[in-house]
Amino acid sequence: AQLLFKMAEIAEQRLGRNQEATDLYRRAVQLDPSSSTALRALARKLREHARWDELIDVLQRDLKNHSARTERSTLYFRIGETY
């Protein structure tokens, strides 16, 4: 999952291949659903591409990884913003 995440970063930042980066972030999340880093990167790309339904799903999955109130409230806020 970490290798896929790194590949996604390179595709996005150095090569400008946004769709490829999104796909790689998605695959990284599939391999490691507890990776908040990958979930947040995927959420960012989905927001850029206006993929609202999938974005909400990703944010809800990220909620499962956090118990701190501040992190959870931030995620709930982002979900609310998306609706």
For 5-34, the pLDDT digits (tens) are: 999 999 999 999 999 999 999 999 999 999
**Per-residue tokens: 38:** 């990958």
What is the model's pTM?
A: 0.87
- pLDDT for 23 equals 96
- pLDDT for 83 equals 87
CA dihedral 33, 37, 42, 47 (to 10 degrees): 130
Residues 63-81 pLDDT 10s = 998 999 999 999 999 999 9
- pLDDT for 19 equals 95
- pLDDT for 27 equals 97
Identify whether the C-beta of residue 39 lies closer than 8 Å to the C-beta of residue 62: yes
pLDDT for residue 1 is more than 90: no
Amino acid at 80: G
- C-alpha 29/C-alpha 75 separation (Å) is 17
Q: How far is CA 59 from the centre of its chain?
A: 7
